[in-house]
Amino acid sequence: MKAISITEYGAPNVLKLHDKPDPLIKPDEVLIKVAAAGVNRPDIFQRKGKYSAPEGVASDIPGLEIAGVIEQIGAEVAQWQIGDHVCALIAGGGYAEKAVANAGHCLPIPTGLSFVEAASLPETIYTVWDNVFRRGALKKNEHFLVHGGSSGIGITAIQLAKSIGAKVYATAGSEEKCKACLDLGADVCINYRIYEFEKVFAKEKIDVILDMVGGSYFRKNISILNHDGRLVYINAMNGSLVELDIMEIMHKRISVTGSTLRSRDKHFKAMLTADILNNVWPLMHSGFFRPLIHAVFPLAEAWRAHDLMEEGRHIGKIVLRID
């Protein structure tokens, strides 16, 4: 099969298309002929040598989410058949013509969605559902803030939070990006390059914040959180070491949490998949949630997809198409 290799750690041009052996499946896995693969920030980190595949993951090919057609099933797989159209969360190997997925981490492609649209869903939906709704326990009528509202995570968080009746706030880096957030359902979105969010939202009593920035945002987030507020981290792009005022945490009864997804075990991911199938997939079928695709590149031009993501101009998801 054709697949993208990271020939050395570095800039996007280290991503090269090479011939690779077809992957072998285990009894609880399926082999998927990949039609499209989502591009995500962890792929960038892996390319730079800062995010290695978890222990036990044989593939060093990047790519954490795919959509395609099941070509082979393991001996223990009962819920899928050869020829089924699925999207899947995987721990690596997505930038390829074929990829292996645990059968319990696959989802049927929602009615009316293309392979490209379906490939944009798993990584962000799993991350948002686990962190905003399970760990952050966001509820109807609460106030929710997501930083980076126009990112893949952001567009997912806005739509899912809005679907349960939360009031949604967002930050983004341009007026165009703010407009996209508002179009997706955000009640308020501010350009963080112009406005200081901690001042604009000082009186909004934010209940849950989803942050991927870290650094100086930590103190600002704490300052605007409501009593019993929840601050959830999924990344710390601007630094992971922060100063914590324990008394403020105690006074407001704030919970600070966070998680990573790729390294979680297969049983947790299977449980999360079932939860998403029951709670999120009906929104897909009803048309309430819509994927937002910024750009699509052929597999051989994965370097262009990485270049675009690092530029930060995109609104929504970037996807690779495998012909």
Q: What is the pLDDT of residues 236-265, one digit of tens each?
A: 999 999 999 999 999 999 999 999 998 899
pLDDT at 57 over 80: no
The mean pLDDT value of the chain amounts to 95
Q: Enumerate residues 6+ apart whose C-beta is below 8 A from 177.
A: 149, 150, 189, 191, 315
133 and 242 both lie in a single domain: yes
E-strand ranges in 58-123 read: 65-73, 85-89, 98-102, 106-108
169 and 246 both lie in a single domain: yes
pLDDT for the residue 288: 84
Please give the Cα distance from 228 to 122 (Å, whole number). 30
218 and 151 both lie in a single domain: yes
Distance of CA 266 to the CA centre of its chain: 17
For the chain, the domain total comes to: 2
Which pTM was predicted? 0.94
Distance of CA 301 to the CA centre of its chain: 21
242 and 134 both lie in a single domain: yes
Of 220, 237, 258, the domain-final residue: 258
Please give the Cα distance from 143 to 148 (Å, whole number). 16
Residues paired with residue 188 on neighbouring β-strands, in sequence order: 169
Place of tokens 């901690």: 198
266 and 117 both lie in a single domain: yes
Q: What is the pLDDT of residues 261-305, one digit of tens each?
A: 988 999 999 999 999 999 999 998 888 899 999 999 999 999 999
Please give the Cα distance from 240 to 212 (Å, whole number). 10
Q: Enumerate residues 6+ apart whose C-beta is below 8 A from 251.
A: none
Phi, psi of 25 (to 5 degrees): -105, 155
Give yes or no for a contact between 272 and 248, defined as CB atoms under 8 angstroms apart. no
Of 240, 258, 276, the domain-final residue: 258
Closest CA to 322 of 67, 40, 58: 67
232 and 274 both lie in a single domain: no
Residue 177, SS3 per DSSP: helix
Q: What is the pLDDT of residues 148-196, one digit of tens each?
A: 999 999 999 999 999 999 999 999 999 999 999 999 999 999 999 999 9
169 and 267 both lie in a single domain: no
State what percent of residues in the chain have pLDDT above 70. 98
116 and 135 both lie in a single domain: no
Measured CA angle at 29 (ends 27, 34), to 5 deg: 145
Of 233, 258, 283, the domain-final residue: 258
| CATH assignment at residue 53 | 3.90.180.10
pLDDT for the residue 52: 72
59 and 114 both lie in a single domain: yes
Please give the Cα distance from 158 to 215 (Å, whole number). 23
pLDDT for the residue 106: 98
The domain of 231 spans: 125-258
Q: What is the pLDDT of residues 101-142, one digit of tens each?
A: 999 999 999 999 999 999 999 999 999 999 999 999 999 999
111 and 158 both lie in a single domain: no
| CATH assignment at residue 148 | 3.40.50.720
Q: What kind and span of H or E run contains 257?
A: strand 255-258
Cβ neighbour number for residue 316 with a 10 Å cutoff = 22
Please give the Cα distance from 228 to 251 (Å, whole number). 9
pLDDT for the residue 285: 81
What are the residue ranges of helices labelled H in 225-265? 246-252
pLDDT at 230 over 60: yes
